[in-house]
Amino acid sequence: MPDRQGARRPAAALLLAFDVGTRRIGIAHGDTVSGAAAPEGHLPATDGVPRWEDVDDLLERWRPDRLIVGLPYNVDGSESPQTRVARAFAATLATRYRVPVTLVDERYSSLEAGERLRESRRQGLKRRRVSRGDVDAAAACIILERWLANPHQFC
């Protein structure tokens, strides 16, 4: 369906996004109708690998149409060991769940997430201390927002 500028928008879809870390995987959900993303929490991980039963439960509950995985690049655009971990996670998602998986550049998403959360706390919108899990889920939101802002860039 075209938007006001005549560009085609993707059909209505439910989305889950992941910010893959070595100890935690941040999760956010959103949809193409509202164009909004919200934190869903995080899963513990060992070297970037979650308990797949937890991911099974998550996908069973949400039944997403597409999965978005943040791809961490170095500042200069080169790949790091963590990039390979995220790619492996994305490949396992695609194979295991047969849902389209899109990789999105996540550079600076954790920094931006931390700043957003600290600002929310300063404004009194968030009362408790910001945890690492909060930052991971907020980073997943930012990754999803990047995809929502320009989905055709990442197809």
Percent of the chain with pLDDT over 90: 68
> Quick count: other Cβ atoms within 10 Å of Cβ 14?
14
112 or 57, which is more confident: 57
- Highest average pLDDT, of 96-105, 130-139, 146-155, comes from 96-105
For residues 125 and 112, what is the distance between their CA atoms, to the nearest angstrom? Answer: 17
Place of tokens 């006001």: 4
**pTM for the whole thing?**
0.85
**What pLDDT, on a 0 to 100 scale, did the predictor assign at position 1?**
45
- Third-level CATH fold of 14-153: Nucleotidyltransferase; domain 5 (3.30.420)
Is residue 110 very low, low, confident or very high in pLDDT (cuts 50, 70, 90)? confident
Say if CB 89 and CB 26 are below 8 A apart.
Answer: no
